[in-house]
A = this chain, B = another copy of it.
Amino acid sequence: MYWIEPEYLYVDGALRTGLGVLVSADDGAGRVVSVGRRGHDHFPVVTLPRRALLPGFVNTHSHGFQRGLRGWVQHADPGAADSFWTWREAMYALATRLDPEAFEAVTALAFAEMVRAGFTTVGEFHYVHHQVDGTPYADPDELALRVAAAARRVGIHLVLLRVAYERPGFGQAPNPRQRRFYDRDPDAVLAAVGRLRDHGIEVGLAPHSVRACSAAWLRAFARAPGVLHMHVDEQPGEIEQCLAEHGRRPVELLDECGLLGPRFTAVHLTHPDAAELARFHAGEAAVCACPTTELDLGDGFLRAWELRAPLSIGTDSHASIDPFAELRALEWHSRALTGRRNVLPHEGVDGLAATLVRIGTAHGAAALGVDAGVIAPGQRADLVALDLRRMEFAATRLLPALVFNGSPAAVADVWVGGRHVVKEGRVPGGEALALEAERALRRVAAG
């Protein structure tokens, strides 16, 4: 056990002085034992002057390997029509090239960048399962286990969202570039989930989208244990396909298939109509927004101020890995779209900032079914220390400035389950991980 005592501790939506946290262990499974004033016990003490200690951020939606696309998809041939769908072809080109070693290396780089940015838990929406020709690996869970290995190397807490991918889309011919994704039937997916749980991995189930799963598959997953995540209403094109196949919009279909409920997280929900939104709210499901990816891919803007569902954040394609940028985008986009200011629900002088912190922490933990996201007894000791000496925080009201002006550069130290995984802004071994990912990507590109 050890005691962490920062200058400011974030509890109950506010920064408070004079408090510390007793942590049970430094091994990655450590929990918060108590929060309060330091007693006369003889635990080792970590003091953090000029630091604010917050719960670690939760990255609810990640495709780690897509980190390999960064910088390579920020252009298009002049005159060419570039969109989400052409980006997807570039993503498929990468997905069809990566061997298990490269897949692990790039995923580990993404996870390392996440912890350095203050994320302590990641929900990895994992959909590349098989060999390049579509046949299973000798161990059918090879790539899922690579994701788990990448998380262990970095020390981030992983929830693996095992994706179910049936088909290219309603009435579409099988796409050879999706061969690594397809499952045989829903039972095969549920069996994979069971095997991964037997490996000790925390697993949720993720029907990819209404494009990739028929109604029969969706119904088969309605009673699966654990959390359910799914891409919903990201692009107008997928809604049109859903209307063509089912005569109803995606949220209506999900409701009829029995998927909506408190365990269900809709990723994106960028283009629901009013009827879908009402049905979604009635179903008490949650939403994960990925604002920087939604910008990068041209998806559109989440109408966050109209949501009554719990909202969390994800960095998705890793166009950017920065929890602060995702959080302020939710409020800032809402302002630009409404012409008003301070529009997300809040109470009191630091209430809007507290709302955004809750979206970045507790709501993400709830969406992934993990005991984290608040600094309280019994919760995982997932903690982030922010450096208050930075010039952008000088002469400010602190909590709103931390959210609206925070960045990965402000993250000084990170603990995941009590284990110290970022030290003074550095991930131990991070340079080696970066080099390994660069070499792996060059190797598979060369063929």
A interface list, Cβ under 8 A from B: 67-68, 70-76, 78, 81-84, 86-87, 106, 109, 112-113, 116, 236, 292, 294-301, 319-321, 325, 332-333, 335-336, 338-343, 346-353, 389, 391-392, 394-401, 403-405, 407-409, 427, 430-431, 434-435, 437-438, 441
Contacts and interface: CB of A to CB of B under 8 A. Distances in A.
B341 A297 contact: yes
A391 B112 contact: yes
B336 A301 contact: yes
Contact of A441 (B109, B350, B395): B395
B339 A404 contact: no
A319 B404 contact: yes
B76 A341 contact: yes
Contact of A321 (B299, B325, B392): B392
5 tightest Cβ-Cβ pairs between the two chains A and B = A409-B409, A71-B397, A71-B396, A394-B434, A295-B332
Nearest to A402: B71
Q: How many copies does the complex hold?
A: 2
B350 A75 contact: yes
A131 to B, nearest CB: 23
B78 A346 contact: yes
A403 B71 CA distance: 9
A336 B332 CA distance: 14
A113 B347 CA distance: 31
Contact of A407 (B75, B401, B409, B427): B409
Contacts of A332: 292, 295-296
Given A78-B346, A298-B343, A407-B407, 10 more contacts: A70-B404, A71-B405, A75-B353, A82-B340, A83-B339, A113-B392, A292-B332, A298-B335, A325-B325, A407-B408
B300 A74 contact: no
Interface centre among A116, A292, A392, A434 (most CB of B within 10 A): A392
Contacts of A343: 82, 298
B391 A342 contact: no
> Which of A67, A338, A391: most chain B CB closer than 10 A?
A391
A403 to B, nearest CB: 8
16 contacts: A68-B395, A73-B341, A74-B342, A74-B353, A74-B400, A78-B351, A82-B343, A83-B340, A84-B339, A86-B341, A296-B332, A297-B335, A298-B336, A298-B338, A392-B408, A407-B407
